[in-house]
Amino acid sequence: MEANNWLEIDLGALVRNARHLQTLIGRRCALWAVVKADAYGHGAIPVADTLHRMGISLFWVASIGEAIELREAGIFAPIAMFYPPLRDADWDAVMRHGLEVVIESESGYRAALQAAARWNRAVDAHLEIDTGMSRLGWRPEQLPDLLQLWRADHPIRWRSVFTHFACADSDQELTKEQLERFLAVVDRLRAAGFPEVPLHAAASAGLLALPESRLNAVRCGLLLYGIVPLFRYGDFSFVQEELEPVLRWRARVLSVRTIPAGQGVSYGWRFRAKHPMRVATLGVGYADGYPIALSGRTEVLLRGRRMPQIGRICMDMMMVDVSELPDVQPGEVATLIGKEGAACIRVEELAHRLNTTPHELTTRLGKRPTRQILKPAGEFFERDSV
């Protein structure tokens, strides 16, 4: 049965992006993959499996559920979770599945010790420092409390120390201040005898905007998927030229009709034809994840040309003005995001129109669009030790 709309996930492009990013950051800096939110809508299991095969050494997810999904799919690489476990049952799941946790508070530290005692083995943990995100992590002024609690013989294997940048895509000076604050905390930790573990601060925006923030590792999400953060300063178009979008979204033409001048289109008749028009109806709508806020503000590609979307986007369908392609037929395929011939609609473009982030759009892609996984060529599965 043919789908009305679907996503094509190009794992070959994912591999090429990872190789390009490793070259950009250098071999002394580890490339860690962020695969939370179903790999930003791209499919966490095929993405993580592909990246693990080529040598990515650590995967970041948000929740225990996301981590267990990867484990149950046979992905036994190190997996770290941004959410701190809150209940004993959560800690037991962490230990049972061999997951790595973030310790961002005194209560989390004490809970880790309790879990280690119950399971009679050490907890693998990453220490988070809050340098300005005001979300999770030990604030610099709480460092004395941490050092009073910490002991070298505690059953915690520290895997890294890290922070999150708040404004890497909008304020380079503030990002530098956060980096300096973080490194000052690290100096104090090491002076007190805390182990010298890998340091990381930069995600996709940070590694581009502030190269000195790459440290020992970077947590990369957007760029792996060929999506460039929307910066409010600087010109990073060179990265967009080098990276390939991993996702392409396509939809089938369900119907084509001619409407007279004055005829309204879709709910509310926000659009009325000024002259006779050919209108194609596509089998995709906001229930599939295409934002209703783009109504009348977007285009799709048909036969490699941009065709304007008209009227309000419906739950299951949208209408497109195809007057310039009067012989379009039901069954033809339009591209909502991605490349078709020489033309391309990037998700960054749609995000800019909505004043949001590209990953808000990709992570909202629902279950209705089927995923067609385009596997890389066999040579890509050779381990690169990325």
Residues acting as catalytic residues: 36, 267
Q: What angle, rounded to 10 degrees, do the helices at 11-25 and 44-53 form?
A: 50
Alpha-carbon gap, residue 35 to 66, rounded angstroms: 9
Alpha-carbon gap, residue 109 to 287, rounded angstroms: 42
Backbone CA torsion sign across 317, 323, 324, 325: positive
Backbone CA torsion sign across 258, 263, 269, 273: positive
All residues at 6 or more sequence positions from 83 whose CB lies less than 8 Å from its CB, including other chains: 62, 63, 64, 102
Torsional class of 48: left (φ above 0), alpha (ψ -120 to 50), beta (otherwise): alpha
The number of angstroms, rounded, from the C-alpha of 75 to the middle of its chain's C-alpha atoms is: 19
All residues at 6 or more sequence positions from 351 whose CB lies less than 8 Å from its CB, including other chains: 230, 357, 358, 360, 361
Residue among 38, 81, 27 at smallest CA distance from 59:
81
All residues at 6 or more sequence positions from 27 whose CB lies less than 8 Å from its CB, including other chains: none
Alpha-carbon gap, residue 129 to 138, rounded angstroms: 5
Alpha-carbon gap, residue 140 to 239, rounded angstroms: 34
Total residues found in the chain within this entry = 386
- Residue 197 host element (H or E): none
